[in-house]
Chain A
Amino acid sequence: MRAWAPIAVAAAALFALQLLLGRFEFFVYLASLVGVNVILAVSLNIINGMTGQFSIGHAGFMAVGAYTASVFSLATNDTRIAGLGVVSDQIFFVAALALGGAAAALCGFLVGLPSLRLRGDYLAIVTLGFGEIIRVIVQNTPSLGGPLGLSGVPQYSTFAMVWFVVFITVLVARRLASSTHGRALWAIREDEVAAEAMGVDTTAYKVRAFVVSAFFAGVAGGLFTHFQSVITPAQFDFTRSIDIVVFIVAGGLGSTTGAVSAAVVLTLLPEALRSLFGAIGADSSLSAVVDQIRKPLYGVLLIIIMLARPQGIFGTNEAWDLFKKKKAAA
């Protein structure tokens, strides 16, 4: 019962916020963008931070989820469950998200398998290859719109739904990190040989980390497409994967708190710059500059963090542990 209480509370709170803020379109758009990036960062952190593997193909899983969900929603666009009104749309939306997540999880399983044999750089190259292969396949599949992508995906997404998924992702990461079975992931990160010697089936755990992580990346993709309405393969390229890696490295590999914070700040920063430039000179060329300076800016930021605090802003610390310690001291 206690396990479900936080979920119920979060759902109610988000629903209330939705009623309050739902009409501010730009806010909802920004919040959704941030939310999707938080889900991506927190889920990638399960592989890269907790398990200590190095995946740089997270955008690939997101793409699989986004395209799967889009195709489903486009196909069922005209179908309604009689008598349910907008609720019918939301039911189809949840189904699309679940399908997107499942398809990505399947890919996660397949990509996770080579991690049985490969370590470090080699695994990184496999995940990178996976991400690029997905993008190239989509680009060359006419039924998926080729390089132009898919458009007209129904805009089912809401502020509440995005942040409910954010909440669930964080909850899953947190409960995994602090349960004994999930803790085996930390053991793999710390010392794989010792973990094996202590009866931890390291390959099974690694594959599972990939499956869970890819599932949430797929759901993030599904959410993304349902508020963007248009998706193109270029949105899921290598730089997107790197952005997510930057989030978790800056936040602190292994820290869910760090992943969330960095994803929020680093998503809002370019948006803030863009609106700033928009306010100065109303022409759009300055906004385009933001995208160009964003990448070198991230690079510089990462170098500074690596020099000043190699373990990332939060290290492996969590906000909720701080709270726990305070309580224990009191």
Chain B
Amino acid sequence: MNTPTSGSQYKVIGTRPIRHDGADKVTGKAKYGADVKFSKMLYGRVLRSPHAHARILSIDTSEAESHPGVFAVITTTDMPDLVDKMADLGEGVVNMAHLGDNVLAREKVLYKGQAVAAVAAANVHIAAEAIEKIKVEYEPLPAVTWVLDAMHEDAPLLHDNVFTDDMGQKSETPSNVDKEIHFLKGDVETGFAAADLVVEREFKTATVHQGYIEPHVATADWNEDGNVTVWTSTQGSFACRTQTAEILQIPISKVKVVPCEIGGGFGGKITVYLQPVAALLSKKSGRPVQLTMQRDEVFEGTGPTPGSFMRVKLGATKDGKLTAGEAWIAFDAGAFPGGPIGPACMCVFSCYDFEHAKVDGYNVVLNKPKTQAYRAPGSTHAALACETVLDELAEKLAIDPLEFRLKNAATEGTRRVDGPVYPRIGCVEVLQAAQASDHWNSPLEGPNRGRGVALGFWFNCGLKSSASAHVNPDGTVTLTEGSTDIGGSRASIAMQLAETLGITAEEVNPQVVDTDSVGYTDVTGGSRVTFATGLAAYKVGLDIEHQMTSRAAALWDCPPEQVSVESGVYSHNGDSLTFAELAEKLHATGEAIVGRATVAPDGATNGFGVHLVDVEVDPDTGKTTILRYTVIQDAGKAIHPSYVEGQMQGGAVQGIGWALNEEYFFDDQGQMKNASFLDYRIPTFLDVPMIDTIIVEVPNPDHPYGVRGVGETPIVPPPAAIAIAIHNAVGVRMTDLPMSPPKLWKALSEQS
């Protein structure tokens, strides 16, 4: 298993070593956020709003404070006032005043589940009893939870200080629409006039959650000297530090964030919820305080991805050339502005070369939890709309769906509707790999069965990463990095350093450290870590190699330029030393060798993927069964193929859940009715088959090993591919997610 594919130019890259944190994680030793413990530590609970929209008239905490075993109770009066200030957290810009309100509600609650107060007590049971004793007087207000309703002029207004930002222009009156986006390329009227066939459809998608298995957790210790340490489960320790310091109104140098092992994030563990609250409870009680969410709090109190309404219209000529596209997209942002409407508008037509296209996007606040990033935010929604309409065009024009896509596929030099011109991308290559795949070439027979294919896109990003490493006398290297490891990134980063130095993956010991111990590093998100932190590791390797070369030169008394390095062997004039032999001599010959690098690369080129799915629909129940599934994706270069496959498989299965089952179910009071893993049903072991993968490698010219990000693209095509497969199985076009049994059964009954 642990050998590179034959003919590979690499020794480490492309192999499948055991991850460095593996033994800890299969034996239960790894310390996740809830596993840290300190002497005298208190446990907290958060009181949450029972209303979807209400004014807070008063909060009386006296009874809770005198409850035996309670050490501190806090409300927003314990939190500094926050003014409007925008901060960039790496995966989006956030208004700190809104963030503060989302952490503890100030004057109004804007969704059921919003935090209002918190208690620290001797144990969780006492804390849970005590929050029941906090008396909050509310004045309930009308709530709105559907995006089109919230856009209405007479809809309940959530904020009187939110105005529509229409491409930089601010509206005069406050509005629930916080943002409008408009992109135009060419002239769509001309484009549609040139079409032989035009198809237009409307789509709806329900709110869905990232569904990480580990609930949010934070432990804080506010020391007597004013320094605050936070141990937490986060995708970005520096982003957590920025937000925590900002909300507490203390300098960032006073906050140290220690990232624990993290039990999944998918975009949902970038924003802070508990960290500042735990810190305030610690300040008030003088003890370390741990706050953990219950599962219903995760669903109701943390950010899902938007529900949406979309309309897409496409035109094509008889021979299958797209002539024009038009999209109208409305996303719900949840209770506060922000969200992935921008990416959705950029992604909707991103796979194809359009001469004429127009995209209009609206971001709308309403009485649901504030949405957060979820794997390729916005792109999955958009792909459902675009790919479904495209499939209908192909079907009506009797053109093979892969051929149709190939005829119109974006390539190097294609200008996206939102402006950027593509560098070298692998869109065509993944379509060709799909055409050549065993899945595509195997017949699918039987009643109520159908095959679907869909294409998906995600940007991937670079952002900032820092790393350093020191050489040990036994020839190993200890690597220090700031990217929290959610899915095996320690391995993929260490492997790039190992490759650079000509040593093995096992000879690198990667450590993810706290914010005081490594240079600034952006979040683990945007499919950036293997690309950008990997690039930092590569540069650390070059730095070490440079210093090792000088040392070898000193040993051999020659100029460094005369030392040659080949696969970790340093030689000059018949003398040669391996990396390990040279490392052994370091102490005796001079100072220690420490390499460092810090990067902010552009050029995280885009990821394209094609998914193939075979389904069978039970016409009596409307239940869809996935029979076979294949994910094809351009990884640029797969550093550790097992974890690349894992991203492809995991993303596909999340997409399958989104397509078929998952949804927030709200009643007319804006109350979520299914806030548990029993009723909000993510795919189980029994719901999915094996997920086949085909890794395509079109190297990214802007990375020394060709890496493109892979984490996010795989969630994009599944809902579209499955909707298309259902159509091919039973003849109905499903345009409303999830395509759950009741909805599909209803569509089937209406059809017959």
- Mutual binders A and B: no
B-contacting residues of A (Cβ < 8 Å)?
Answer: none
